[in-house]
Amino acid sequence: MAVWALGINHHTAPLDVRGRFAFALDQVPDALRRFRAALARQPEATLLSTCNRTELYCASDEPLIEPTARWLADTAGVAPELLLQHAYVLRDDAAARHAFRVASGLDSMVLGEAQILGQLKDAVRVADEVGALGTTLHQLFQRSFAVAKQVRSSTAIGAHSISMAAAAVRLASQLFEDLRDIRVLFVGAGEMIELTATHFAARQPRAMAVANRTLERGEKLAARFGAEAMRLSDLPARLHEFDAVISCTASTLPLIGLGMVESALRRRRHRPMFMVDLAVPRDIEAEVRELDDVYLYTVDDLASVVQAGKDSRQAAVAQAEAIIDAGVQSFMHWLRQRDPNAGVVALIRDLQTQADAWRAAEIARAKRLLARGESVDAALEALARGLTQKMLHGALAELHSGDEVARQHTAEVVSRLFLRGRPDAAAPRRASDDGRPPRP
């Protein structure tokens, strides 16, 4: 089986590009069905989409990388060339290593953060529910979960990490003298908003509110923090009431536009507003950043804040990478064990590599002879003799070593390999009593 991963993330693509390839969790089942239907061989597939990445993990009897890229590009409505400018394509052990690093939080914007593991488990669960998770990807991800657990339990990779939610609070503290004097609005009611609300609530702001498309879900989250619940439709009329706005929804279009914010600022008499857009695609129009009295941050803007303390955890990173390397080796061993021809394919590849090396060495030697003035015939003779010696050396060495049983077995193999056209090749003579092979 071939395993491959194709994706974009915060390392390779800016926010607006990532937004074009984003999938809400409830969109993933249909996307997986359409992806597999678009490929003739219907590979195993898992689709992971978060604010920082969109990745397809696949397995099939052959790598279908070009069709995978074409489908993802078509789905986003862009040319495959644009996707590939920002994408990474990983195969086999490299794909496994990437999956293990993602699960362990080593590829996250917040080094060592645990949220990505839950998101990956959700993606695997959805793939399993739609019948897209076969044996190979099941093994890959179960091993990635085990590796992530080992990394978290045996290293300090998550120690002192600053989450995106904590970074938002830290930035707000730089703008406002005392967070107890501000009113905070949370737009959305998902996991990221819940985390951010938890961090803000610890600073005891004057008031908090939760605006959500589904009022019941917003009320449930608001009740946890003693906050007010409101509808998204109330945003235009009430946005001016809030000093800080943190938004993270699954909307495909911005919810808070330039005109809405300009109107709010006029009613606030241009008192500053702190805004954090954690959504991909954006919840807040990019043009809002240009307003003088607005301090707007996106997930990418928070990167420098969340990287604080990363250098001090390099020892933990090294330990985590060692655990991941062992996990990759174990997975690749399992993968090879499933393919009875894998060893033969690897041997053929190694033989071809060795033969190419011999050929290159003898050609170089022949060229040196010609440069020294040797005749063409002499150079060709030396080339042929050198290649012959290299090709026969291993077989002749084996025929001169080992016990009689081993020599007899070697003699039979050598006869099949090198004397196949001779009528007596099928019945090689026994080695002589002195241990040397019989003369031809």
| Rounded Cα–Cα distance for residues 401 and 399 (Å) | 6
Q: Establish whether 51 is a catalytic residue.
A: yes
Alpha-carbon distance values, 439 to 285, 400, 430 (Å): 86, 13, 11
Read off the amino acid at residue 347.
Answer: L
| Rounded Cα–Cα distance for residues 232 and 215 (Å) | 9
What's phi and psi for 256, nearest 5 deg?
Answer: -120, 110
| Rounded Cα–Cα distance for residues 59 and 44 (Å) | 5
> How far is C-alpha 319 from the geometric centre of its chain's CA atoms?
19
Burial of 141 (0-12, 13-18, 19+ CB in 10 A): buried
| Rounded Cα–Cα distance for residues 54 and 73 (Å) | 12
Strands 2-9 and 88-91: antiparallel
> How far is C-alpha 134 from the geometric centre of its chain's CA atoms?
19
DSSP state of 159: T
Read off the amino acid at residue 58.
Answer: C
Structure tokens at 111: 């080094």
| Rounded Cα–Cα distance for residues 302 and 282 (Å) | 15
Alpha-helical runs (H) found in 39-176: 65-76, 80-86, 93-103, 115-129, 135-154, 164-175
| Rounded Cα–Cα distance for residues 382 and 166 (Å) | 72
Structure tokens at 362: 């003898």
Of these residues, 13, 15, 48, 51, which one is catalytic?
Answer: 51
Nearest alpha carbon to residue 54 among 281, 299, 326? 281
Burial of 230 (0-12, 13-18, 19+ CB in 10 A): buried
- Per the DSSP assignment, residues forming a β-bridge with 273 are 294
Give the residue numbers marked as catalytic: 51
